[in-house]
Every structure is written in structure tokens, then in C-alpha cells.
């Protein structure tokens, strides 16, 4: 594939589209025909996301098929993954094809699989965090340094202040937790947010101008 196709065309698309969106956002008044016209560009994101979904599905099927064929790491789980994906896909497509519903989620069987299986499995996995945190609290949280000590003390105050038992022990705990959240936390997070925003703007400008090309993959 030529350099023009691999590099210059994507760079030109990025520059033109980015430039149009910057102009539309900062220089065109809402409701004007020119601004409305850019909404069409925005809507194309849906098409790109849908395409990315198909690519994701193909990549997932390919990855797990290869893993099973090679008897790779946890290949038995790959079988379960493939079965789950394929069956759920068939159920969804069946619901649409039989016009049981206009929309996949309203299909009774599709909803049942989601609400009765997926929801509970996902919640179970997430809730395991509580056990890991309890174990980590015993094994890893140590007063090794001043910073670690501050973190531990503040964390303990938050734990007490954000649960009803804290207020039951001493009514000052909820107030302390709220102050910690409102003042020191807000100050720190504001600094982080502003820093991230400046970094994002700088990265966006570099990408628009073609200086930052990492998103195009390695240059060869």
C-alpha cells in the first residue's frame, strides 16, 4: 500500500474534518444552516461506531478460535465465550427477523437472557471487589511513609463518614468526610482535570496538524 494511501489521505481527512468541527463549534452560531450542516458529519460517527462493532465481533471470534485451535491459555473459557456470543447473537437476530419486536432489547427472550443471566453474572464479578479490598486492607495497606499514612487516615475517615455507622459512632465523621470531598479532593481533582484538559487540547492540535501520527500505527 502506498504512502499516499497509508499516511497522507488519513492525515488529510483528519485535518479537514477536525478543522470543520473546530470552525462549527467555535465560530458558527447554533441554528445557522452552516452549523446544522455539520450535524450530518457528527451523525456519521454512528456509522463508524456500528462498523467498529462488527470489526470487534470478528476480532473476538478470530482471537478465541485461534486460542482454541492452539489449546492456548484458558482455551476452555474461549469455548464458553464463543458459545455465549454466538447464541446471544442468534437470539437477537431471531427477535428482529421474526418481527417479534422492532427493537432487539424489547424481544422477550433477548431481555430474559440479559436480565436473568448477564446482569447477575456481571454484578457478581463486580461485587468480588469487596473481598479483594478486605484482603488487601490486611495484607498491603501499611504506614510506611508520611504519604501512605495520610492516605490511610483519610481513607479510613472516608470509610467511616460515608457509611451510616460513622454517624452513629460520632456525628462528626460524616461532616469530616464531606469536607474532605468538598475541599482537598476538589482542589486536587481540579488541578488534575485542568492538566488533563490542557494535555488533550495540545494533543488534538498536534493530531490536526499531523505532528502526532501515533494513531496511524507504526511508520515503516
Partner 1 sequence: MSTSKAAGFDRRYIYILLFILVSIPLLYPLGLPIPISTHTEGVWDATTALPAGSIVVSSFDFGPSTIPENRPQAKAHLFLCRELGLKVIALAFWPGGGPIGDSVLSEVYGEGYQNEDFYGTELIYLGYVPGNEVGMQTFGDSPMDAKGTDHFGTSVGDLPLMQELEDASDLGLWAEWTSGTPGEQQVIQFVQGRHGGPSAVPLVVGSTAVSVPGMMPFYAAGQIVGILNGLAGAGEFEWLVNRDYPEYPQEQGPGLDAQSVAHVLIILFVVIGNVGWAVSKSRGGKSS
Report the interface residues with partner 1, using CB under 8 A.
30, 39, 42-43, 45-46, 49-50, 101-103, 105-106, 111, 114-115, 118-120, 122-123, 125-127, 130-131, 133-135, 137-144, 152, 156, 159-160, 162-168, 171, 174, 178, 181-182, 185-186, 189-190, 193
As a whole number of angstroms, the distance between CA 15 and CA 9 comes to 10
Residue 161 near residue 176, CB atoms below 8 Å: yes
Q: Is the dihedral of CA 65, 69, 72, 74 positive or negative?
A: positive
Q: Which residue, 2 or 127, is less far from partner 1 as judged by CB? A: 127
As measured in angstroms, the least distance from the Cβ of 6 to partner 1 is 27
Residue 107 near residue 91, CB atoms below 8 Å: yes
Q: Which residue, 66 or 117, is less far from partner 1 as judged by CB? A: 117
Residue 160 near residue 177, CB atoms below 8 Å: yes
Q: Which residue, 138 or 219, is less far from partner 1 as judged by CB? A: 138
Q: Which residue, 71 or 139, is less far from partner 1 as judged by CB? A: 139
As measured in angstroms, the least distance from the Cβ of 129 to partner 1 is 10
How far the first Cα of the chain sits from its last, in Å, is 11
Amino acid at each position: 500500500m502506498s504512502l499516499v494511501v497509508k499516511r497522507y489521505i488519513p492525515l488529510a481527512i483528519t485535518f479537514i474534518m477536525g478543522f470543520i468541527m473546530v470552525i462549527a463549534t467555535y465560530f458558527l452560531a447554533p441554528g445557522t444552516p452552516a452549523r446544522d450542516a455539520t450535524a450530518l458529519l457528527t451523525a456519521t460517527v454512528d456509522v463508524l461506531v456500528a462498523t467498529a462493532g462488527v470489526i470487534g465481533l470478528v476480532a473476538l471470534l478470530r482471537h478465541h478460535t485461534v486460542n482454541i485451535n492452539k489449546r492456548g491459555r484458558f482455551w476452555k473459557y474461549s469455548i464458553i465465550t464463543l458459545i455465549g456470543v454466538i447464541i446471544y447473537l442468534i437470539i437477537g437476530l431471531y427477535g428482529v427477523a421474526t418481527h417479534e419486536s422492532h427493537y432487539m432489547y424489547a424481544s422477550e427472550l433477548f431481555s430474559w437472557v440479559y436480565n436473568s443471566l448477564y446482569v447477575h453474572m456481571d454484578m457478581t464479578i463486580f461485587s468480588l471487589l469487596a473481598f479483594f479490598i478486605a484482603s488487601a486492607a490486611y495484607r498491603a495497606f501499611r504506614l510506611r511513609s508520611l504519604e501512605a499514612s495520610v492516605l490511610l487516615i483519610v481513607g479510613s475517615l472516608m470509610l467511616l463518614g460515608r457509611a451510616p455507622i460513622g454517624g452513629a459512632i460520632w456525628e462528626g465523621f460524616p461532616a469530616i468526610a464531606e469536607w474532605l470531598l468538598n475541599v482537598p479532593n476538589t482542589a486536587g481533582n481540579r488541578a488534575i482535570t485542568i492538566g488533563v484538559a490542557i494535555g488533550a487540547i495540545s494533543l488534538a492540535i498536534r493530531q490536526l496538524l499531523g505532528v502526532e501520527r501515533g494513531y496511524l500505527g507504526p511508520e515503516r
